Structure 1
């Protein structure tokens, strides 16, 4: 066979393979680009939404009023900002049809509030003409509740504040766990280290179980709109959960959008923490041992043990205010 014949055979056999490989590379690059675009848009939207969770109307709802973690989470504003940011970053802020289509691929949004959580997800209901409608609506606030074998109930918060039902006395009490541990017969309240472990695990498990049920139920609603993807709760690491329950925040999911041969399946978590420079210093007087707090511009030699964002928070933790020396 002549060299020219070999060239012809090579061209016939291998050139189509090179072309196909080139198409696959370009397709993979497109898939990676689209995945990154959706993931980045989701994470940005969650951070934007979470950042307004601490936008309050009244002073008593602002951070520092009793606890550095207590907010009245503005969930409606947070979700509105979330969607606005998401649509803008995907380039569909003016495309109502695209927005409605995207909504089918957002099975749930959760707002982690100080003493409970909300889930924003599809629900089925009847319209004015008795037609069946499906749209995202808010769940009622759901508390972080734990019960033991003796019938005691504990409602946790994102910090040490707690509400307890003592089955033996049939009474509800509330306060800080560290202050109640010697005055209640509820075993969990008496053990600070165990309390913290159970508090965190209860909050995570409660939200996680509810999200799993809501996302699973979303399959029914999505199927009615032609979406055949099997929606399930993604695996969220323990570290991510722990970070998400340190303060009020937002959790959102995008799943099932077909990209190449695969599907987008991602989530994002964002915190609404308002970071404030501590300006209250608390500790013990080295002479008397009395627990005081003083403001940052008034230091008198306390052995500083803790810092707080407000005088109210320091007082709630058992400290007395020490006035500046003349």
Structure 2
């Protein structure tokens, strides 16, 4: 019995590493693809509207799912790929000034069969409400924008520039700016992920499936 338990533990560890490595590889490839897409407006001066952005989101998802299918040998098995998707309640794509949440929807295909389709939520900005009621929009570096609600004006620039032009309390130092930026982005994503996971549980129940949680 001891040997059996040890063999099972080794097997589980190997499987965990395999799944972890395969998912990480798919995430890395999709992230690299997204990074190259985000550089295009800077390098080519091309700016995309919302419709084009949605298409780009779908392109990134296709890269991610294609890599997963290749890793698990599911390139030509849509049913098994749907089963794998059910284990991914949500995906978050981090952009420079905001993030996009992706969840699954069960929709009817042209043939009338239910199919799982990834749906992109509207992009969420990294925003924080200042003590004076103004809104601060973070980016992934020290650049930010402040919306002055009283004058209906925007201030944009690095932290030092913004601090000289408008009131940023309680962000009274660059260290606090970094700390609050990180906690703001984390809390916004955690809140949306909680909503997405609850939504995924409802989807699973609707499909007549159940979820088993482990430690």
SS at 2:22's partner residue?
A: helix
Task: Tell me whether 1:221 sits opposite 2:203 in the alignment.
Answer: yes
How far off is 1:188 after superposition? 4.3
How many residue pairs get aligned? The number is: 206
1:104 Cα offset (Å): 0.9
CA contact (8 A) 2:126 2:188 kept: yes
- Is 2:182 the partner of 1:178? no
1:76 matched to 2:58? The reply is: yes
Residues 9-41 of structure 1 show CA distances to partners (whole Å, capped at 9, x for unaligned) of xxxxxxxxxxx5554444444333322221221
Residues 181-200 of structure 1: pairs in structure 2 closer than 5 A? 181-188=163-170, 191-200=173-182
CA deviation string 1:251-272 (max 9, x = no partner) = xxxxx6xxxxx58xxxxxxxxx
Secondary structure of 2:94's match?
Answer: strand
Equivalent position SS for 2:188: helix
Which of 81, 89, 101 is the aligned partner of 2:83? 101
Q: CA 1:47 to 1:134, structure 2 compared with 1: closer, same or farther past 3 Å?
A: closer
Tell me the secondary structure at the aligned position of residue 143 of structure 1.
strand
Q: What is the Cα-based RMSD across aligned positions, in Å? A: 3.2
Alpha-carbon contact 1:160-1:178 (below 8 Å) kept: no
Residue 93 of structure 2, aligned match among 71, 89, 111: 111
TM-aligned CA deviation for residue 146 of structure 1: 0.6
Q: Which has the higher contact order (CA 8 A, sep 6+)?
A: 1
Q: TM-score, normalised by structure 2?
A: 0.80
Question: Which has the higher Rg, Structure 1 or Structure 2?
Answer: 1
1:33 aligned residue: 14
- SS in structure 2 at match of 1:196: helix
Structure 1 pair 59–26 and aligned structure 2 pair: CA distance change class (3 A): closer
Which range moved further: 187-196 or 54-63?
A: 54-63
Task: Give SS of 1:163's match.
Answer: strand
Q: CA deviation at 1:85?
A: 1.4
Structure 1 CA distance, aligned partners of 2:15 and 2:74?
A: 14
Residue of 50, 58, 73 corresponding to 2:31: 50
1:94 CA drift (Å): 2.2
Task: Go from structure 1 to structure 2 and tell me whether the alpha carbon gap of 1:41 and 1:227 turns closer, same or farther (over 3 Å shift).
Answer: farther
Structure that is richer in helix per residue: 2
Q: Given the superposition, is the C-alpha separation of residues 226 and 50 from structure 1 closer, same or farther in structure 2, using an over 3 Å criterion?
A: same
Matches within 5 A, 1:117-132: 117-123=99-105
Q: Aligned equivalents of 1:189 and 1:28: distance in 2?
A: 49
1:1-326 counterparts in 2 under 5 A?
A: 20-56=1-37, 59-62=40-43, 74-123=56-105, 135-188=117-170, 191-229=173-211
Contact 1:162 1:177 in 2 (8 A): yes
Q: Unmatched 5+ residue regions in structure 2?
A: 45-52
TM-score (norm 1): 0.55
Cα deviations across residues 293-326 of structure 1 (Å, max 9, x unaligned)? xxxxxxxxxxxxxxxxxxxxxxxxxxxxxxxxxx
More strand, by proportion: 1
